Amino acid sequence: MKKGDYLKITSDAKYDGQDMRWTETFKEKITLKAGTMLYHSSDKKISEFLSKETCFFLDDRMENYCYVAVLKKDVVVDYYESQEVRLEINENNCSIQYVGTIRYIPTLERDKKYGCPIYKKVDRTIRKVK
């Protein structure tokens, strides 16, 4: 798989992390409009997504292997703390594209805004941060 490739969303995809326990605090249900971009990252490369509830972020603070989902229609999602949403993904409501590998460095501005360590994008390729 290379940058820009679209991933399939199937009923039998297998990858590490898909059964990870979630601990974030639920805030409310919100409606996201068609065309909204959502961001997902993983410690290991994903070749296809499982059709199930999956976490995404409304902003692009990702690191490691990174993916962007674009909504094909308006969708009601569960909204959690730290700009996280959970979406029941399938081929009818979104497309998912691999965008590459991203490294981050900490920034004080984001830490202050969100009250926790959050990272700033350095670039969209693998690179060591000094």
Q: Which two tokens stand for residue 34?
A: 């068609």
pTM exceeds cut of 0.85: no
Nearest to 67 by CA among 93, 85, 40: 40
Do the domain assignments include residue 26?
A: yes
Do the domain assignments include residue 27?
A: yes
Do the domain assignments include residue 88?
A: yes
Per the structure, how many domains does the chain have? Answer: 1
Looking at mean pLDDT, say which of 57-61, 82-86, 125-129 comes out highest: 82-86
Do the domain assignments include residue 1?
A: no
| pLDDT tens sequence across 77-118 | 999 988 899 999 999 999 999 988 876 655 555 555 554 444
Confidence class for position 3, pLDDT limits 50, 70, 90: confident
* CA gap 67, 45 in Å, rounded: 10
Q: So what's the pLDDT on residue 4? A: 87
Task: Give residue 20's identity as a one-letter amino acid code.
Answer: M
Do the domain assignments include residue 125?
A: no
Q: So what's the pLDDT on residue 38? A: 92
Do the domain assignments include residue 96?
A: yes
Do the domain assignments include residue 115?
A: no
- Full domain range(s) for residue 42: 6-15+22-103
